[in-house]
A and B are shown apart, each in its own frame.
Chain A
Amino acid sequence: MRYKILAILLCLTLLPSPARAAVEKDEKTINLEHGKAHYQKEEYEEARYYLLKVLKEDQTEQQALIMLLNIEERSGNYSTAIVHVNTLLGMNPYEVSLWKKKIGLYREMNNDVEADRLLERLYNIYPENEEIQKLYNNRLEEKYQKLAKTDDTNSQIEALKSLIVNAYAYGTSKEDLMELYISLANKLEQMGRMSDALDVISIALARDPGNMSLIRKKVGILTGLGRHTEAYSFIKTERRRNAVNPVLKGIQDDIEAEIMQQAKLNDPYIMSGIRWEETRSEEALDFLIANSINRGYLDDAQTYLAEARKLRGDTPELLYKSFVVENRLGNKARAMYYLRKYNSIQPDNQEVADLIVAQSLATASDMIGDERYREAAVLLDSIIRMNPDEELMASARAKLASCNAILKEKDTKAKLVQWEADVQTLYKQDRPEEVVAIADSALAISPNMEVVILYKGLALEKLKRFDEAYECLVNYNPSPIEVLDHRRHLNSLIYKRYRNTINVEYQQWRPGFEDNITANASVDYSHRFKNDGVLTTGVKYTARDNDGKNFKSGIGFQLSAGYAFKFTKRFSGEISGAWSNRFFPTLTARGGLGWEFRNGWSMNIKGAYRLTDISRFLDDGSMETSRSNMLNGGIGVNKDLNTVNLGLGADAFLIHRRLYFNANAKIQYFPVEYNRSCLYASFGGGNAPETEFLDNSIPSGFSHINTSASAGTLFTISSNMAVNLSGTWYSIYLTQETNRTYFYVNASIQISF
């Protein structure tokens, strides 16, 4: 290399001028090759030296210029590189690659203004070049994105405008374009340029009709400007285009609501309310009171009047208005309160006095309507005392009369209801007289009170006033399920009403050890007097064969009479006597007393004297008959359990100064209510027989164990006829080896009339 250059230099020195020109040409070529070689090796200092030397010789050497351009760019000497680009552009005007290079170099120098200007210029020169379009558009977007991070809204608006203008040429999608329009409108709104924002959205809508985002935006701007009517017209137009879109319907609804809200805000009443709240202006308060009453905003009126009364006190005007409001709200008491207060301030005001009366009358009418008759009567009475004018007085009197009549009727009804309850309670407390008394009072006012009729009848029955009970209960209308019971009950009462009864009885008995039947027959007649005293007379008959041992043949009869007293409702007594010619006790005298307690308990005591031939067994089984005076006393207790009747009895006998005892228990069962038909059974025992056996002159044992068991039934055929049938097994234990047994059968018919 060194020698090569030396040679050249020598030649330069020694050669003549034309020859030197040739050499210079060669030197340029040599320098270019050197420069290129160094350039390729990225030895930029050396390359620059040779290439600049080339340029010194020939400023238009493109290869050198291009290499120098790249070297300077890579070396960071951008402005020098730009000179090379421009030099090249002088030779290649509007060469796109050089323009792009220059733009890039300016960007490297952070001179975006010049780079953008060049890019725009290039875009103007080559508007159809897609690459430049893209470059330009990207740059616009980049600029906008950069600006969007700043507060420079004006620049953002301009950038968006540029983007929108370019978008048409660049072919930006419709969605993106509409986004740009909306962004531009938003920025214009931010700047308060509402009208411009509206124009932008209108332009966008013209390009994309029906775009929901744009529609919402336009509606938003219009409503924001208070142009609700315009917004409403716009959305209605849009709905004509797209009637089924629910979003549009929703927007329309929102606008309507906002229009209403707007209208409210424009309402002087609302404004006055706000003013009152904020400034406590009395002028606003007066307006609010007047308007709330006129418009019927009565709750508001209450509030504002209360505020006014706090401020100004109870002035007649405020009191009257308060009265009007409370009256309209139906708060009669409050209304009257204000009216009376008004009256106390201006007692001579006749109009207010008349208003009080009229108001009181209205209140009384309301009370009558609410069935508050007693209060209404008091109020009407006070109105009459106020001595109002004729018309009001007449009205008050009429209402008072009506009230009193109703009150009387109500009192009577209440009394009857109370009596109805009372008869039931008293009956359960076993106070039948009181039941009858109360029932009579109740039925005198209201004869059809079924419950009262029923309990009166039951009470009368309890008092054994069967006629009255029957007459009463026959008027009772039972419920369908009670009909059968009621009929039975009436039948039982019919029976109890009968005053005459004939009882025809047949008895027979035979010992267990021989077939020897002995029989009795009897007829009794009884009559119940009106005082409930019962007279009974009867005759008993028997005929017996001579058995060769104990009995002689013959006919025997017994005549008897008795009377039962009813001292009080619960206390009764009886006496009876009998005479017989033979077989039966010659003389019999009986007496007894009975008490009926509450709860179905009853007790009786009795005593008797008999002069009789007592046939009694001895230890060896033989029979001994002796005439004896027999004294007998007994006590009995009975419990009535409705369907079951339990009885216990004990008797003592005194014969030949010796005392004997017998006790028995009896149970009766009444299967049908209000029917005297029953089944019964009894068991007795003692060292003496039951009196019944003695009265029927059945041989018996004394000082021996006597036991008896019996069972029977009373069957009611009709209300006036019943049949009784029973059997008794009577046993006398004499010794371990000797026992005497009798079987006793009894049948009777009762006929009442």
Chain B
Amino acid sequence: MHPFRYLSKARSLAVTLAFISLTSCHVTVKPTTVDVLDPVRHYYPIIRTEVLNMTFEITNTGEQPLVITDVLPSSNAIKLASGFPDLIPPGKTELLNLTYNSDYNIGYSQHKIRLYGNIYPDGVLTLTFDTHVIRPTINTADYEEIFFKKLSKEKSLVDGRMWEKGYWTDNQRSSNLLE
């Protein structure tokens, strides 16, 4: 059996026991469905040393409360912002804010963030993103450099058009824009 299932159940059991010890009520938490906006993302290239800020919308689409036991980025390059709740009630959406430190990579980089909890069906939700980390131009910055530098300062990262969000998904972008 997958470990995080045990953990998920254990965590649920622990919460339940705590709840019983405090309230003397008995509640059972079952797996719930979760929806994530754009769980697989391809970010535009970023200049090395810059930070890529990412926000994933996590929506509990099931009947049961979503108890998130662990959010584990695949490496130290990804930092989880504080404030992401351990529990998302049914029908509610929470924002998972992450930052990717591009110092660690050069060229194509792909990373994953794994969320563990009573998530249907496997108890784990994997978010994937990739980007190209590029060296800064020495003399003249390309337009994109300037544009995205500005964009990161001005725009919210959860709405707007594709380029305003700073990434694309597999359904949004064809291989050749001119087609």
Residues of A within 8 A of B (CB): 1-2, 5-6, 9-10, 13, 38, 45-46, 48-50, 52-53, 55-56, 59, 68, 72, 77, 79-80, 82-84, 86-87, 106, 109, 111, 113-114
Q: Which residue from chain B places its CB closest to the CB of A71 in the assembled complex? A: B74
A87 proximity list for chain B (CB < 8 A):
75-76, 104
A77 proximity list for chain B (CB < 8 A):
74, 110-112
Q: Which residue from chain A places its CB closest to the CB of B130 in the assembled complex? A: A79
Q: Which residue from chain B places its CB closest to the CB of A111 in the assembled complex? A: B107
- In the docked arrangement, what's the CA distance between A537 and B21, Å? 208
Q: Do the beta carbons of A111 and B105 come within 8 Å of each other?
A: no
- In the docked arrangement, what's the CA distance between A685 and B2, Å? 165
- In the docked arrangement, what's the CA distance between A751 and B66, Å? 183
- In the docked arrangement, what's the CA distance between A106 and B70, Å? 30
User: In the complex, which residues 75-134 of chain B have their Cβ closer than 8 Å to any Cβ of chain A?
Assistant: 75-77, 103-112, 114, 116, 130
By DSSP majority rule, is chain B's interface helix, strand, loop, or mixed?
A: mixed
Distance in angstroms from A621 CB to nearest chain B CB is: 167
Q: Do the beta carbons of A13 and B13 come within 8 Å of each other?
A: no
Q: What are the 10 A-B residue pairs with the smallest beta carbon separation, nearest first?
A: A83-B75, A79-B109, A83-B104, A9-B14, A52-B72, A83-B77, A111-B107, A86-B104, A46-B3, A80-B74
- In the docked arrangement, what's the CA distance between A459 and B17, Å? 175
Q: How large is the interface on B (under 10, 10 to 19, 20 to 34, 35 or more residues)?
A: 20 to 34
Distance in angstroms from A4 CB to nearest chain B CB is: 10
B76 proximity list for chain A (CB < 8 A):
55, 59, 83-84, 87
Q: Tell me the total A-B contact number using a CB cutoff of 8 A.
A: 88
Q: Is B27 an interface residue (CB 8 A)?
A: no
Q: Which residue from chain B places its CB closest to the CB of A82 in the assembled complex? A: B105
Distance in angstroms from B57 CB to nearest chain A CB is: 23
Q: Do the beta carbons of B108 and A79 come within 8 Å of each other?
A: yes
From A52, A86, A109, B74 is in contact (CB under 8 Å) with: A52
B106 proximity list for chain A (CB < 8 A):
111, 114
Besides A79-B105, A82-B105, 18 other A-B contacts (C-beta < 8 A): A5-B6, A9-B11, A10-B14, A45-B2, A46-B2, A48-B74, A49-B7, A49-B70, A50-B3, A55-B76, A59-B76, A79-B110, A80-B75, A80-B112, A82-B104, A84-B76, A113-B107, A114-B106
Q: Do the beta carbons of A2 and B74 come within 8 Å of each other?
A: no
- In the docked arrangement, what's the CA distance between A82 and B108, Å? 11
A38 proximity list for chain B (CB < 8 A):
3
Q: Is B4 an interface residue (CB 8 A)?
A: yes
- Known contacts A2-B6, A5-B7, A77-B110: A72-B74 contact under CB 8 Å: yes
A111 proximity list for chain B (CB < 8 A):
106-108
Distance in angstroms from B69 CB to nearest chain A CB is: 10
- In the docked arrangement, what's the CA distance between A87 and B2, Å? 28
B11 proximity list for chain A (CB < 8 A):
9
Distance in angstroms from B18 CB to nearest chain A CB is: 6
Residue of B75, B77, B105, B111 with highest tally of chain A CB at under 10 A: B75
Q: Do the beta carbons of B72 and A56 come within 8 Å of each other?
A: yes
A50 proximity list for chain B (CB < 8 A):
3
Q: Do the beta carbons of B10 and A9 come within 8 Å of each other?
A: yes
Residues of B within 8 A of A (CB): 2-4, 6-7, 10-11, 13-14, 17-18, 70, 72-77, 103-112, 114, 116, 130
- In the docked arrangement, what's the CA distance between A59 and B11, Å? 24
Q: Which residue from chain B places its CB closest to the CB of A118 in the assembled complex? A: B106
Distance in angstroms from A92 CB to nearest chain B CB is: 15
Distance in angstroms from A19 CB to nearest chain B CB is: 17
From B14, B72, B105, A6 is in contact (CB under 8 Å) with: B14
Distance in angstroms from B127 CB to nearest chain A CB is: 13
What are 10 inter-chain pairs, A to B, with CB distance below 8 A?
A9-B11, A10-B14, A13-B14, A46-B3, A49-B116, A77-B110, A79-B111, A80-B75, A83-B75, A111-B106
- Known contacts A55-B76, A84-B75: A49-B14 contact under CB 8 Å: no
B73 proximity list for chain A (CB < 8 A):
52
- In the docked arrangement, what's the CA distance between A80 and B7, Å? 25
- In the docked arrangement, what's the CA distance between A72 and B2, Å? 19
- In the docked arrangement, what's the CA distance between A50 and B104, Å? 22
Q: Do the beta carbons of A5 and B104 come within 8 Å of each other?
A: no
From A49, A109, A114, B4 is in contact (CB under 8 Å) with: A49
- In the docked arrangement, what's the CA distance between A48 and B116, Å? 13
Q: Do the beta carbons of A2 and B10 come within 8 Å of each other?
A: yes
Distance in angstroms from A528 CB to nearest chain B CB is: 148
B114 proximity list for chain A (CB < 8 A):
49, 52
- In the docked arrangement, what's the CA distance between A82 and B110, Å? 10
- In the docked arrangement, what's the CA distance between A235 and B14, Å? 94
Q: Do the beta carbons of B10 and A6 come within 8 Å of each other?
A: yes
Distance in angstroms from B124 CB to nearest chain A CB is: 9
Q: Do the beta carbons of B10 and A83 come within 8 Å of each other?
A: no
Q: Do the beta carbons of A109 and B107 come within 8 Å of each other?
A: yes
A45 proximity list for chain B (CB < 8 A):
2-3
Q: Which residue from chain A places its CB closest to the CB of B103 in the assembled complex? A: A86
- In the docked arrangement, what's the CA distance between A123 and B26, Å? 66
Q: Do the beta carbons of A49 and B3 come within 8 Å of each other?
A: yes
Q: Do the beta carbons of B72 and A80 come within 8 Å of each other?
A: no
Q: Do the beta carbons of A1 and B6 come within 8 Å of each other?
A: yes
Distance in angstroms from A41 CB to nearest chain B CB is: 12
A68 proximity list for chain B (CB < 8 A):
75
- In the docked arrangement, what's the CA distance between A72 and B112, Å? 11
Residue of A80, A109, A113 with highest tally of chain B CB at under 10 A: A80
Distance in angstroms from A655 CB to nearest chain B CB is: 163
- In the docked arrangement, what's the CA distance between A111 and B77, Å? 20
B77 proximity list for chain A (CB < 8 A):
83
B107 proximity list for chain A (CB < 8 A):
79, 106, 109, 111, 113-114
B112 proximity list for chain A (CB < 8 A):
77, 80
A79 proximity list for chain B (CB < 8 A):
105, 107-111, 130
Q: Which residue from chain A places its CB closest to the CB of B111 in the assembled complex? A: A80
A52 proximity list for chain B (CB < 8 A):
72-74, 114
B13 proximity list for chain A (CB < 8 A):
6
Q: Do the beta carbons of A53 and B17 come within 8 Å of each other?
A: no
A59 proximity list for chain B (CB < 8 A):
76
- In the docked arrangement, what's the CA distance between A84 and B107, Å? 16
B103 proximity list for chain A (CB < 8 A):
86
